[in-house]
Structure 1
């Protein structure tokens, strides 16, 4: 069953139906809680949904169950990468490759993490040295082509001193700071950046072509460029800065609390979660307190904390998933406290906020447990006996519906007693509710296979339904369980059943008989039985042999069915 659920989960994952995939893997885990593959698969689904903490928890569980399983470490690396902890992700992938050096998933993950680490390092380097980023542009593959195409920079390609400096920058981009004062490099940057600047300043070279004819006209006075207004500095949002610092401090406390939680040191975890809440109002911290209290067995405390999380979450407009998680934990706490009614109520509230496989499974299990508990609590032998006596009284009075009600009450009060079902079948037969009577008789014999009265009532109902072959089988089965006490009654009922079959086909032509036989699957099954074919062939030449074979009860009932159906016609 777990394998089937796993296959369904894999199929849903391939179709990107992540909620269904999680539901199937969760159900499979409930059946096989020590199956590391199931945790690993669910971790992959959580990562696909960007629920990286859950993905990490499942990966850790998979590794705990099977430490030498490389894929579990790879799942852990993916989760850490999603959480932004690149160093931890690197370590996890490294461990996976130690176990399985050719693991393609781990190789790919390690490569991606290494690139991310390098990008962070490069970003840090540019921030620390502004000129480091400028040096990179001189390694443009099209650098020389761009310089050659621009009339201002083409002559530089023949300048040995300039080319030596350019080569130095290309080899060491950080050295651009030393050469940036050279106006030639500023001109090169102008070309590479695609902007037109006058690097000469006052008295510098003009942008006019050198072959423009000179005139006696006085040059127009140079217009002073308008100064752009200096932008006012953005006002510092002190409140936003304080809030961000508070959040960082709260998250730091939460992280410490998580470490204690993993070690099952719940009191210390609660202490840090509470401190996180004091520093920053994030409902996640309250949910974590509730989780720690739940794990240490303080279920009433769990309810109070998570109710506070819901209330605060409404005020803070927290994410509906966070509210749903609080409701689910309240339901789990009430379930532990034995209050299934409250548990079911809060599971419903959770599903109203956000429908998750986990909450749905908890709801269904709680409802099932509640129904079973209530059913077990209703069992009472003394009350069952009162119901039986009332049913018999109503039966004798001919009040069949009241008798059915009384015997129904008996089946609830004493569900293992076959008499309640058998007695109700008798009343149902009086009401001509034959299919329901047959079902009740089967319930009775399932509880006591030697309860002959139930077989007899079932056969009676089947005869009324004109299902004579099933009735004969029922009477035969009764005979196998009888100790001889009911042998005569069973034989009489079998005979009545056969007579009813004979009467049902009275006046039937051979053609009609043949058509009916061909449409009767049970008769055709008997005729196709190799043993019965041998007996019938023997009987054609030696009719007395048929009587000898009928000493076998199983053969006798089959021959009687063939006779009743008109296949065997005696005396012809």
Structure 2
């Protein structure tokens, strides 16, 4: 087998995403033809696809050294440098490639992606300060606490906690800078009119780029070793046949827009007769067949056009469009298993947004069809019973697997979700249990077993305020439900331990977890509640006064249940999170 044959085998393996095999074929080709820059480019793409960035870099450097006028070589080199997080080098490489081949879109995409990842890799100094526990820290700081009575200040903090990248838009606010300086431990803050914002990270003042990441390295198309520019192979623009063919194509397009497909097909065939090496006219013919709903004929025509295009070195965009059209026909015929890999292969040729959209729709369609085809309530009931047997035998992983099968077979049967939640609770997978309870209750909102298990999941994740709410909702449906009664009593006992400081849990840990709850964060962010908490901390005798107000009492009880407020530390003092205990 010669180098060209090994290269062809390598291309096939790459298209099938069998990268180790592709590397092996390209290596054999290189051993026979070590001066062919395309072979090194192809192998570099394989290494990059398996994150072997050092090997990808070495091959890309060899590729560029062999042919410094080939734009794709710079794409490979820049991608390898990007993968190694050498962003500045990658950007410089892509820019150098643009000097060689300015119209190559992959170079521009590479620059944008490298710049985006470079910015994302920079540490964010604000994220560590402006987190969910910031309100507790500010309340315990006598220089910052008064700001909590200002609604716009609280709103600013909530905005930054939700998205630390927004901090850059508040650099002019002296309260923000004072907060940052105080909590970061830098020291006092002068806060004068000449405060310099130059200390703030420069990248936080710029809007975040939304440039999409670059496409996967395209599969190199078989080509001669020298690979002359494709445009040079095109027919001279001044040739009479080109002009006549172009006119015929334009006439065909007009008929096509009017849905006069017979007339359009006649024109496209006439144009192809004048320019038998131009694959575009075959592409036009496939469009007519598709619109006529002749999907099988269109698939055959696409295959013939693809073979013609490769023989005549058609532009990669034409090849990609033919693949996309064939895949769309396969999708229309519900042959999704064949359509999806063909869409992906088309994207390797050319990352077209239309192809991406079609691929996404095809994958969703296939998933929906697969789910619908798998549904069988009888088999679902059998799987659920199998899960019950495993559960009773304390084989909880096996029970989860059986319940999962039951759900796949009958996704609208609510008890399988509740049963799987029970198995997850036994395994300590509380978040998964909570998710299953929510799914069960979405189907049957009054299923009390799922409500109780939801309360259990909250209890074991120490979200006691939410656990109480879950148990209470269950008791509204059935006041005698023992599982909810026991769960509520156990939760209240735990809250009492926390409120008295006897739980052994660090206050900061409880506060940090509680502030992840939007309801608790909203209470802590309320300026009036901050004033109330401040007065309660300064004068514990005011606590009973505030507890007489039903609205304030409810919020205080929620903060106690969440572990934010604690009482009875031995000195009769209220504690807020863990901050007060350390002062």
TM-score, normalising length: structure 2: 0.49
> Larger radius of gyration, structure 1 or 2?
1
TM-score, normalising length: structure 1: 0.50
Higher RCO (C-alpha 8 Å, min separation 6): 2
